[in-house]
Chains A and B, each alone.
Chain A
């Protein structure tokens, strides 16, 4: 029993039109078409989706959690990007 696993795919489901595809999990499949069919059976048994994306897990390039601090550091001191940074008198409306 030293079988090789089928490739791993990540599954993304659009739950209804107007919403983005969202990662729901992963599964093994021999090819992309089987991955879509398996995704239907594994992740949409209760009509959870109207569209499925699958992508080989090996093709995903991810940031390194160990470097998250430095990667996201540039945004850390830029609170002026948020509207609450600005003091506007209460009597000024619609701003």
Chain B
């Protein structure tokens, strides 16, 4: 589903270590020439670590992102909605798999990444620490959260690291139905009864600002943007992408005849952009630091799933060991 300005969550990057200046310069020249970097190519350690952090956080976000929506699968209002929601949640799982594989090409193992997630050491997108209280939240997530995700992810399709770029192409293709099904849910509710309209408005009220924050800190405070842009891991700044999302989404809300929960929102004729009121960054920081409404619940759900699946993993490994001789003979 999505990555938020994940580049903003790590340590500052260091200059090329002594002895690597020439190799680093050659590497940068390849990037500048729009060449793609592939797993076995030489790359600066900081480039490798930046990508491992970003791709694994992105993968974790897909996996944790299954939880808020999975919460509504058993209560979807129709068989059609249920089939769609299952397909969407399954896609998010698949996206996590593509991304974990891409990260593994950089030298981190799957079990290391799983451990980082379950121990709480790894970050994932702050948005998934909000609860899904009503069915309308499923619509709002598809429309806003997946919408913001697409805005973030499309530029990553041109990322300099080949495996990440290829995974993103696949993900973006699959993502567009996610946003459309969400908008369709919102549209149905918005055209429904008074209670349904109120439910849609309430979901928009709760998901608007967290979605806006998905783009990460303001450019003024985003310390990795410059380096990530030089390496062509990132193509646009957080604020550029955020503005693009706002400009596209506000008219969609108007079509739904729903109100964006921002009294200061206005159209700026001079710049031809919508201008929003101030973002409450203290909320963003609190959620990132583990104090969102559902942080503990999400990690505990992943831990429980991992524990509950242990016997399956063991059984599969035992079965594979037992049949390993035969399998080789078949080929």
By beta carbon, the residue of chain A nearest B318 is A30
Which residues from chain A contact B316 at a C-beta distance below 8 Å? 6, 30-31, 34
With A1-B111, A27-B97 in contact, do A45 and B91 touch (Cβ < 8 Å)? yes
**Known contacts A6-B316, A6-B317; A42 and B323 CB within 8 A of each other:** no
Which residues from chain A contact B306 at a C-beta distance below 8 Å?
Answer: 1
B90 close to chain A: CB less than 8 A: yes
Interface size class of B (residues with CB under 8 A): 20 to 34
Tell me, yes or no, whether A88 is within 8 Å of chain B by CB.
no
Question: Are B101 and A31 closer than 8 Å at their CB atoms?
Answer: no
In the complex, chain B residues whose CB is within 8 Å of the CB of A25: 98, 101-102, 166-167, 170
**B contact patch SS:** helix
A3 beta carbon closer than 8 Å to chain B: yes
Cβ of B13 < 8 Å from any Cβ of A? no
A26: which B residues are within 8 A, CB to CB? Answer: 101, 104
Query: At the interface, yes or no: B324 with Cβ under 8 Å from chain A?
Result: yes
Q: Nearest B residue to A8 by beta-carbon distance?
A: B104
Q: How far is the CB of B11 from chain A (nearest CB, A)?
A: 25
Chain B: CB-nearest residue to A34: B316
Q: Indicate if B281 sits at the interface (CB-CB under 8 A).
A: no
Interface pair B174/A30, CB less than 8 Å apart:
no
Most buried by A among B38, B101, B317: B101
Residue of B nearest to A68 (CB): B41
Choose among A5, A31, A33, A34 the residue that contacts B110 (Cβ–Cβ < 8 A). A5
Give the residue name and chain of the B residue nearest to A62 (CB): B40
A33 contacts across to B, CB distance below 8 A:
327
Q: In the docked arrangement, what's the CA distance between A41 and B109, Å?
A: 21
A30 to chain B, nearest CB (A): 4
In the complex, A3 Cα to B91 Cα: how many Å?
Answer: 26
Task: List the B residue with the shortest CB-CB distance to A28.
Answer: B110
A73 to B68, CA, bound (A): 54
Asked if B84 is at the interface (CB within 8 A of a chain A CB), the reply is no
CA distance A30 to B174 in the complex (A): 27
Bound Cα distance from A50 to B104, whole angstroms: 27
A5 and B109 in contact (CB under 8 A), knowing A25-B167, A42-B98?
yes
Instruction: Give A67 Cβ to nearest chain B Cβ, in Å.
Output: 11
| In the complex with contacts A25-B101, A42-B94, A31-B320 CB distance below 8 A | yes
Closest to B315 in A: A30
Q: Do A31 and B104 touch (CB < 8 A)?
A: no
Complex Cα distance A85/B42, Å? 35
What residue of chain B has the Cβ atom nearest to residue A38's Cβ?
A: B97
Residues of A contacting B167 in the complex (Cβ-Cβ under 8 angstroms): 25
Contact A30 B317, CB 8 Å, known A25-B167, A45-B91: yes
Contacts of A82 in B (CB 8 A): none
Give CA–CA (A34, B323) in the complex, Å: 12
A-B contact pairs, 14 of them (CB 8 A): A1-B115, A5-B111, A25-B102, A26-B101, A26-B104, A30-B317, A31-B327, A32-B327, A34-B316, A45-B94, A65-B38, A65-B40, A65-B41, A66-B42
Which A residues are closer than 8 A to B by beta carbons?
1-6, 8, 24-28, 30-34, 41-42, 45-46, 62, 64-66
New contact pairs (15) apart from A1-B306, A6-B317, A25-B101, CB-CB < 8 Å: A5-B111, A6-B313, A8-B104, A25-B102, A25-B167, A26-B101, A26-B104, A30-B313, A31-B323, A31-B324, A32-B327, A45-B87, A65-B38, A65-B40, A66-B42
